[in-house]
């Protein structure tokens, strides 16, 4: 078994290293893409909600040279105004966004990117459905990108993003994906120890994200007179076409941690879940998800997700091996408190290693790394890894929603694209998913709809 695991680990490290290697080769034959001659990196924010505002704050806090926010885009002016006030209040001298560079509408992303010069940075923090569309334009304009996770929600967009990743490499663009835990120093050191065999063969992984209602996953009925499309965007965690639902937007972090620890990507998923306490909510989510992933060597990873109040909460990832066990992350994103035990019970007397230093904020570290890569023209492209993490997460979601065993290739080749007319959306117009006469949306019905995650048409 050791030889198989070593082989898989080497293949995984080789695969994830292809991005850097390919980018290095491309970079040697194309013009450098970095900050303009003034040395000031300009930033545009596309998607001004809480996560977008947080990402912009992390960008503006990087201190390795001049950087400023120069444009903002959203579909809601109120949300943009709130974001601007927060950013301007904290970074007075680094925020230069007059009213004429505040853009509203589904085409606002183009106008914000057009403000930038090649080598500047755009932040994509809209609902994930729009990621491929916005990324396409950024590549065309030659700007570097920070995109939030997940980066895809279905098979067709995953294929599209894989291809776009290659186009970004050809232009030597620096692209970060918001799986910030990959930039956590404690997790990095633990991952190295696991990959170097300090746990022996990895036999089992466990991940949990169990809490109360999360984000906008429990979407309320559409208010009288409200536009359906705009209501869905305001509650985007509730609709599969926009976000992939609660699984894709929240469980992805723990799933990505497990794949990182294992040094591989799962080949199949089996799962279950259900809707329990829904009341008048109209979203498409389950309240519970239980996913079992299988890697190529037979190793299992179990993932438990729950969004029911009043239950036991846990937000952690664990790794079990033949020589001991590890806590990859403890209670959310920060601090990870990564550590290794000689037994399987995580008792104090069995502790053999713990990350020794204070952990820097991984949300800030991912931005420090991206801006450093831009200024020093280092190869930097996290898209392929981000797509695989998004795809694997969606594979588990589809297994729960259909009640079927779903393989990596089956999900990637599933032709159901949730929002094929995405580029034509307009404010006040119809949504890709329409409610029935009772104001309800199709929900997953495992076994009854074995091929798609909800009834189409």
Looking at the domain assignment, is residue 236 inside a domain?
Answer: yes
Residues 192 and 177 placed together within one structural domain of the fold: no
Residues 245 and 172 placed together within one structural domain of the fold: no
Looking at the domain assignment, is residue 22 inside a domain?
Answer: yes
Residues 154 and 195 placed together within one structural domain of the fold: no
pLDDT at residue 341, as a whole number: 98
43 forms beta bridges with 69, 121
Residues 90 and 61 placed together within one structural domain of the fold: yes
Contact 397, 247 (CB under 8 A): yes
pLDDT at residue 37, as a whole number: 52
Q: What are phi and psi of 224, to 5 degrees?
A: -60, 130
Looking at the domain assignment, is residue 143 inside a domain?
Answer: yes
Q: Which DSSP state fits 303?
A: E
Residues 93 and 203 placed together within one structural domain of the fold: no
316 forms beta bridges with 208
Q: Looking at residue 349, which CATH number applies to its domain? A: 3.30.360.10
Residues 130 and 191 placed together within one structural domain of the fold: no
Q: Which DSSP state fits 316?
A: E
Residues 242 and 293 placed together within one structural domain of the fold: yes
| Residues of the chain where predicted confidence (pLDDT) is lower than 50 | 1-31, 33, 36
Looking at the domain assignment, is residue 449 inside a domain?
Answer: no
Looking at the domain assignment, is residue 448 inside a domain?
Answer: no
Residues 133 and 223 placed together within one structural domain of the fold: no
* 224-262 burial: b if 16+ Cβ within 10 Å, else e: eeebbbbbbbbbbbbbbbbbbbbbbbbbbbbbbbbbbbb
Q: What are phi and psi of 434, to 5 degrees?
A: -105, 145
Tell me how far apart the alpha carbons of residues 107 and 424 are, in angstroms, rounded to a whole number. Answer: 10
Looking at the domain assignment, is residue 214 inside a domain?
Answer: yes
This prediction's pTM? 0.92
pLDDT at residue 222, as a whole number: 96
Q: How many CB atoms lie within 10 A of CB 440?
A: 12
Looking at the domain assignment, is residue 59 inside a domain?
Answer: yes
| Order of all β-strands in the sheet with 102-104 | 102-104, 67-74, 41-46, 121-124, 144-147, 175-177
Residues 131 and 237 placed together within one structural domain of the fold: no
Looking at the domain assignment, is residue 417 inside a domain?
Answer: no
pLDDT at residue 35, as a whole number: 53
Contact 108, 133 (CB under 8 A): no
Q: Looking at residue 112, which CATH number applies to its domain? A: 3.40.50.720
Contact 301, 292 (CB under 8 A): yes
Evaluated on CA atoms 384, 253, 288, 206, the torsion sign reads positive
Which residue segment(s) compose the domain that 131 sits in?
A: 2-181+364-382
pLDDT at residue 9, as a whole number: 44
pLDDT at residue 15, as a whole number: 47
Residues 171 and 207 placed together within one structural domain of the fold: no
Residues 156 and 304 placed together within one structural domain of the fold: no
pLDDT at residue 277, as a whole number: 86
Residues 175 and 243 placed together within one structural domain of the fold: no
189 CB-contact burial (10 Å; exposed 0-12 / middle 13-18 / buried 19+): middle
**In total, how many domains does the chain have?**
2
């Amino acid at each position: 078994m050791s030889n198989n695991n070593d082989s898989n680990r080497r293949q995984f490290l080789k695969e994830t290293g292809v991005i850097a290697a390919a980018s290095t080769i491309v970079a040697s034959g194309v013009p450098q893409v970095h900050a303009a001659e003034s040395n000031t990196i300009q930033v545009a924010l596309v998607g001004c909600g809480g996560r977008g505002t947080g990402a912009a704050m992390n960008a503006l806090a990087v201190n390795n040279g001049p950087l400023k926010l120069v444009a903002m885009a959203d579909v809601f002016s109120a949300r943009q105004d709130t974001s601007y006030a927060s950013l301007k209040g904290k970074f007075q001298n680094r925020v230069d966004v007059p009213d004429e560079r505040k853009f509203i509408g589904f085409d606002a992303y183009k106008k914000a990117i057009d403000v930038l010069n090649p080598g500047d940075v755009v932040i994509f923090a809209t609902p994930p459905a729009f990621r491929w569309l916005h990324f396409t334009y950024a590549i065309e304009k030659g700007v570097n990108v920070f995109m939030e996770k997940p980066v895809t929600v279905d098979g067709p967009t995953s294929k599209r993003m894989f291809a776009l990743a290659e186009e970004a490499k050809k232009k030597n663009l620096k692209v970060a994906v918001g799986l910030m835990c990959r930039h956590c120093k404690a997790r990095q050191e633990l991952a190295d120890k696991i990959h170097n065999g300090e746990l022996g063969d990895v036999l089992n992984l466990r991940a949990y994200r169990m809490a109360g209602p999360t984000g906008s996953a429990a979407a309320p009925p559409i208010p009288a007179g409200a536009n359906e499309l705009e209501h869905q965007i305001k509650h985007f965690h509730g609709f599969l076409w926009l976000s992939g639902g609660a699984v894709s937007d929240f469980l992805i972090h723990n799933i990505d941690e497990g794949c990182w620890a294992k040094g591989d990507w799962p080949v199949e998923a089996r799962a279950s879940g259900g809707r329990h306490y829904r009341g008048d909510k109209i979203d498409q989510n389950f309240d519970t998800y239980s996913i079992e992933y299988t890697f190529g060597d037979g190793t299992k990873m179990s993932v438990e997700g729950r969004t029911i109040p009043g239950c036991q909460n846990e937000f952690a990832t664990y790794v079990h091996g033949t020589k001991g066990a590890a806590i990859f992350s403890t209670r959310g994103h920060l601090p990870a408190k990564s550590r290794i035990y000689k037994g399987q019970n995580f008792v104090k007397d069995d502790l053999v290693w713990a990350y020794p230093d204070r952990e820097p904020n991984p949300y800030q570290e991912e931005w420090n790394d991206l801006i450093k890569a831009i200024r020093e023209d280092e190869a930097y492209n996290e898209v392929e890894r981000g797509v695989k993490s998004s795809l694997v997460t969606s594979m588990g979601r589809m297994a729960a929603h259909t009640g079927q065993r779903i393989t990596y290739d089956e999900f990637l080749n599933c032709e159901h694209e949730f929002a094929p007319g995405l580029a034509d959306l307009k404010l006040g117009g119809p949504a890709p998913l329409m409610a029935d006469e009772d104001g309800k949306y199709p929900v997953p019905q495992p076994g009854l709809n074995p091929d798609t995650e909800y009834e189409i048409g």
